[in-house]
Amino acid sequence: MRNVILAESAGFCYGVERAVELAGKTADETGGCWMLGDLIHNAHVVEELAHRGIRKAEKIDGLTKEDTVVIRSHGELRSVLDELEAKGVRCVNATCPNVVRIQKLVAQAEQEGRRPVIIGEAHHPEVAGIASWCRHPLVFEGPDEVQKWLDADPQNRETPVTVVAQTTCIRSLFESSWKILKKECTNAKIFDTICNATHKRQTEAEEIAAKVDVMVVVGDRKSANTKHLTEICKKRCPRVFQIENADELSPDSFNGCSVAGLTAGASTPAGIIKEVYATMSEEIKAAGGKEESFEELLNQSFKTLNTGEKVTGIVTAITPTEIQVDVGAKQAAYIKLSELTDDPSAKPEDIVKVGDEIETYIVRVNDIEGYAELSKKRLDAVKVWENIEQAVEDKTVLEGTVTEENKGGIVVSVKGVRVFVPASQSGQPRGADLSAMIKQKVQLRITEVNRARRRVVGSIRSVSDEARKAAQEQVWANIEVGKHYTGTVKSMTSYGVFVDIGGVDGMVHISELSWSRIKTPSEVCKVGDTMDVYVISFDPEKHKISLGVKDRSVDPWEVFMDKYSVGDVASVRIVKLMTFGAFAEVVPGVDGLIHISQIADHRIEKPEDVLSEGQVVDAKITAVDEEKKKISLSIRALLAPSDEEDTADEAPVEE
């Protein structure tokens, strides 16, 4: 059997690993740099960093603008960061992204007139750093201090509060604290800021501690998350040792121990964990010191199955209702069809084959009857949650389908997990009908996960905004006068339309929409229309683009000259009425004047007595001024002459 159960999540978390990598990279680039205090809570790692040229400074007095400082993973006081900036010292911020988020939350809370409440250890550098991002923070280590503050002054219950947690806070302490505040305060906002990796590490350590004779926790004694791991393990295991390295272990620690557990804090390097694991295995064997019988060895060759654990086995048989799996245990194991897949029409043989290796979840173990019930479906669900949690840290873009609209937003199904997307993060305009998004496939990022409450929050807008920003940068990087785009009409005004040419809106003036005279853009297009446009001008600083639609390769005057001559009769459209006559469109982009004396075969007071804008009439071309591109038209010339009217031709009149 396995003498030591090693926690899968033991060792460096994402934030610590990122900080160490950033520090090493900075040292390589600069030839040596500084860290303020300990970069992470592990003396062994800090010593190794010193060998790589990363020196430790307790104060910033001696630093100059020639120096480079790496900010530790726990974060730093805002006043210190401001002073470094004032001195011109280059800073490389290795603060854990989870800590940065909490700093922003408390700063925002104070801007909104709310009192920031931090659940954590007041003297821990992470908490001190977070508190420095607001002026009047409240720091409580647990529910007792919360209740004491509430009881101290009745007005405290009326104070709007925003509640956050130290990333390594024990979940039970945080939950009991925020529940009191939620119940007794009239206006409380709660943000679960405990690191997902921390919660996973604590849960796993608790589960292992309940199964072993001795539990070993490895980590620096200054590390808060290591201390919390030890506290959690002591509740489930009577013998718990917190050590910094393998040298602190002894055979006496494992007297009477057959199975020991091992976990490690987030700042413990893999090398130390590996060394402790090997030492523990040897010490347990040495403490046992007895020769085992063949029967004992045979029994130990079988796995011990425990409800709730993962187990990998080989498919040995398939029936219409279940599959049988060899998991290397004394019990016979099987998976019901209902625990294999959610698809009621699926057949077992379509999902797995005899000989396939399959990873499953142990639902129930019956030692009396000698069988174990397994579930692949539940394990898949667990993996999905793990992937969802990892997606928060990695800021992964996921794809899902909108399944419903509910109060305040929409629900997106991501691999079977319900993700709530607030209306403000849906990517739709304020007040839009969100039900229109149902059944649409969307891309989103996960912004918040509370696995205990099965609550997941996501943002579609962050993905669409990022894509739009990238598209905008692409447009501005390649735009040039005369370049053609296929765009979409986004909005309309009385003076023109705005067209999206790939993330950037350009304006087409009404005069550029058509060669013909139009009064409103709606005469030629509508919102949503696809439009071929070209760039007339652009201003990158003001982010303004002027677009055109009219085909400049075609000269309307040449079209007119090719089609008509003096004496020809044309069907024209009245486009403008003046006191001296009417302008009529002969071909798109070319107008002619019908003088008031040439409108009718009798004297009229004003053109609108006979004509109206938009009216189509026949007119004779009586004169063409090619130099000024002016045309004279006559309706009267096509009518029988009247004795009382002057029949003299009129020269073209300027518009």
**How does DSSP assign 103-165, residue by residue?**
HHHHHHHHHTT-EEEEES-TTSHHHHHHHTTSSS-EEESSHHHHHHHHHH-GGGGGS-EEEEE
By annotation, the residues acting in catalysis are 126
Question: Could you tell me the end-to-end alpha-carbon distance of the chain, in angstroms, rounded to an integer?
Answer: 102
The pLDDT of residue 499: 92
pTM: 0.42
> What CATH number matches the domain at 392-464, 3.40.50.620, 2.40.50.140, 2.60.40.10, 3.30.460.80?
2.40.50.140
Q: How much is the mean pLDDT over the chain? A: 86
Q: Is 140 exposed, middle or buried (0-12, 13-18, 19+ CB in 10 A)?
A: buried
Backbone angles phi, psi at 515, to 5 degrees: -70, -30
pLDDT in tens, 574-598: 988 999 999 999 988 888 999 999 9
CATH T-level topology, domain 479-548: OB fold (Dihydrolipoamide Acetyltransferase, E2P) (2.40.50)
640 or 480, which is more confident: 480
pLDDT at position 387, please? 83
What's the rounded mean pLDDT across residues 70-78? 91
> Is residue 83 pLDDT above 70, yes or no?
yes
Indicate the range of 271-285, 297-311, 508-522, 534-548 predicted with least confidence: 297-311
Which tops the pLDDT comparison, 345 or 601?
A: 601
Band (pLDDT 50/70/90 cuts) for residue 648 is very low
In the chain, ranges of CATH 3.40.50.11270 domains: 14-93
Q: Are 315 and 354 in contact (CB under 8 A)?
A: yes
- pLDDT tens-digit map of 374-433: 888 777 777 777 888 888 888 889 888 999 998 889 999 887 788 999 998 988 888 888
Instruction: Kindly report the CATH number that applies to the domain delimited by 197-290.
Output: 3.40.1010.20
Confidence (pLDDT) at 288 = 60
CATH 2.40.50.140 residue ranges of the chain are 303-380, 392-464, 479-548, 556-638
Residue-level pLDDT at 559: 85
For the stretch 334-343, pLDDT in tens is: 888 888 877 7
Would you place residue 103 in the very low, low, confident or very high pLDDT band (cuts 50, 70, 90)?
very high
The pLDDT of residue 650 is: 46
Tell me, what's the pLDDT at 2? 52
CATH 3.40.50.2300 fits 97-194, yes or no: no
Count Cα neighbours of 260 within 13 Å in the Cβ-side half-sphere.
29
Grade residue 552 by pLDDT with cuts at 50, 70 and 90: low
Q: Is 153 or 328 the better-scoring residue by pLDDT?
A: 153
Tell me the fold of 556-638.
Answer: OB fold (Dihydrolipoamide Acetyltransferase, E2P) (2.40.50)
Confidence of residue 459 (pLDDT cuts 50, 70, 90): very high
CATH number of the 14-93 domain = 3.40.50.11270
Burial of 76 (0-12, 13-18, 19+ CB in 10 A): buried
pLDDT category at 641 given cuts 50, 70, 90 is low
Domain 303-380 has CATH 3.20.20.70: no
Q: What's the whole-number mean pLDDT along residues 218-229?
A: 88
Query: What was the pLDDT predicted at 287?
Result: 66
Longest dimension (CA), the chain: 139
Considering the chain, tell me which residue range(s) the CATH 3.40.1010.20 domain(s) occupy.
Answer: 97-194, 197-290
Per residue, what are the HEC states of 311-335?
Answer: EEEEEEEECCCEEEEECCECCEEEE
